[in-house]
Every structure is written in C-alpha cells, then in structure tokens.
Amino acid sequence: MLVNHGFITFEGIDGAGKSSHIEALAQWLRARGREVLLTREPGGTALAERLRELLLHQPMDALTESLLVFAARRDHLRQVIEPALARGTTVLCDRFTDATFAYQGGGRGFDGQVLVQLESWVQQGRQPDVTLWFDLPPAVAAQRRAAARAADRFESEDETFFTRVREGYAARAAAAPGRFIRIDALQPREAVWAQIAQSLEERGW
Ligand SMILES: Nc1ncnc2c1ncn2[C@@H]1O[C@H](COP(=O)(O)OP(=O)(O)O)[C@@H](O)[C@H]1O
Ligand SMILES: Cc1cn([C@H]2C[C@H](O)[C@@H](COP(=O)(O)OP(=O)(O)O)O2)c(=O)[nH]c1=O
C-alpha cells in the first residue's frame, strides 16, 4: 500500500466549485479512518483571519498583498498546519501558496522570483502532498459567482484578470505534475466529485 502524508490543498479561480467539495472529501477520508482538519487561506488562525479581512476589502499594492498572504501563511503553518501534520492528522486547506503564484503572480503581475523567496522563507520546504486544481473557463466561473454571492476585492476583477490567474495555476501545475490533480470543474457536481474520489483512490488514499 502507498504511504501518504496528509496535506491536501484546493485551488482554482473564484467560483470554480472548490468549497462545494471540501466537506465531502473530509467525510470520505474520515470514513477511511483518518483524522481530518479543515482550514483555509488566507486564514486559519485568529491573526490570519484578521489579515484576510484586510486582504479582501482594503486597497493595497501587489507587494503588500504578497507580504500579507505570506504573513498569514506563516502563522497558519506554525500554529495549525505543522502541529496537525505532526500528530498524523490529514489537513485539507482551501487555497495555499499556488493561489499566491496565481493571483499575485499571474493576476497582479507581481515578480515570481520574489514569491519564490517568500515561499522558501515561510515554508522551509513544506509543500502540499496533493493539490486539487479546479479548472474551468473564467466566464463560467463568473456566471456561477454572480448567481451565488456578492463580490469581494478579488472577485470584482474582470475576466482578463481571471484568465491570467488561470494561466498562473497552469504554470504551477506544469512545474509540479506529481503534486497537481487537474479537476475538470465544468462537469456537473457529481462528476466532479467522482473524479476527485477516483484520483485519490488511484494514488492510494
Ligand atoms: N459542478 C458545478 N456545476 C454547476 N454549479 C456549481 C458546480 N460546483 C459548484 N457550483 C456552484 O457554483 C457556485 C460557486 O461554487 P463554490 O464551491 O463556492 O466555488 P469556489 O469555492 O471555488 O469559489 C456555487 O453557487 C455552487 O453551488
Ligand atoms: C490564499 C490566497 C488567496 N487569495 C485570494 C483568492 C480569493 O479571491 C480570496 C479568498 O479566497 P477564498 O477563501 O477562496 O474566497 P471565498 O471565501 O470567497 O470562496 O483570496 C490571493 O489572492 N492570494 C492567496 O495567496
């Protein structure tokens, strides 16, 4: 049997359908006897949730955005993610560093080399074991969002922004093909879930 560590991240442009599947995956893993922790970024600690509020609502430049998401991530890793992984708990995180490369790097056009430096300082080598990338065209995601909720500072961006974010995810996926699972998020919900479960089963989860 394959031995898996336990850090799974969910990624994709806003409205791709991540949030609709995180709880289902938690239940599926618990039914297989795992302890599971659900968390999110930016967020997951009291400090990081305060930084999230600023990030989602306060105007700022791309460097400030990048510093704040990594500050939130540092606190989250030290207080929540690393201790949980050390106890053998599986951590499901709604977004992680691929979002920074996609949104700040791709969307905002911020310097990827600086992001690589910040990633290395903050994470000390920690990477997700599996990343589920919910991929679909930005126009479809925008329709889903419009039907579902009011837009925050990122969700108010136009289609060209989300096209760059999507390209940012595609570049990260191409650079780490063993870690990424591309989910075809255009499919109906049941088919999306079936693809998630099948992909993880194939990898021995
Ligand atoms: N496969 C799907 N087909 C159609 N609509 C979907 C699908 N998955 C999710 N949705 C709907 O799209 C909207 C955005 O989904 P959500 O899970 O909040 O996306 P995200 O967390 O990626 O931003 C919600 O209204 C959700 O019910
Ligand atoms: C983690 C992270 C998120 N973000 C953005 C992407 C999202 O638009 C926003 C919040 O993510 P998310 O929790 O997915 O939003 P929602 O609760 O509305 O589904 O933060 C970044 O720009 N950089 C990052 O590093």
The closest-lying atom of ligand 2 relative to the alpha carbon of residue 100 is: 25
CATH of the domain at 62: 3.40.50.300
Total Cβ atoms within 10 A of residue 120 = 10
ipTM: 0.96
3-class DSSP string for 19-64 = HHHHHHHHHHHHHCCCCEEEEECCCCCHHHHHHHHHHHHCCCCHHH
**Interval between CA 71 and ligand 2 midpoint (Å):** 15
Q: How many domains does the chain have?
A: 1
Residue 98 lies in a domain: yes
In a domain, 18, yes or no: yes
Is 191 annotated in a binding site? The answer is no
Residue at 51 is within a domain: yes
9-39 pLDDT per residue, tens? 999 999 999 998 999 999 999 999 999 999 9
Ligand 2 mean position to 3 CA, how many Å? Answer: 30
| 193 and 21 Cβ atoms separated by less than 8 Å | yes
Q: Is residue 89 situated within a structural domain? A: yes
- Residues 127-138 pLDDT 10s: 999 999 999 999
Residue 149 has what pLDDT? 87
Angstrom distance (rounded) from CA 200 to CA 202: 5
The residue range of the domain holding 70 is: 7-202
Average pLDDT, the chain: 96
Domain presence at residue 1: no
- The predicted pLDDT at position 199 comes to 97
In a domain, 114, yes or no: yes
At 4, the pLDDT band (50, 70, 90 cuts) reads low
Is residue 40 lining ligand 1, measured as CB closer than 6 Å? Answer: no
Whether residue 2 is contained in a domain is answered as: no
Tens-digit pLDDT profile for residues 137-169: 999 999 999 999 899 999 999 999 999 999 999
Atom of ligand 2 nearest to the CA of 96: 1
- Which atom of ligand 1 sits closest to the CA of residue 147? 25
Answer yes or no: pTM beyond 0.95: yes
Nearest protein Cα to ligand 2, atom 22? 103
Q: What is the mean pLDDT of residues 161-180?
A: 98
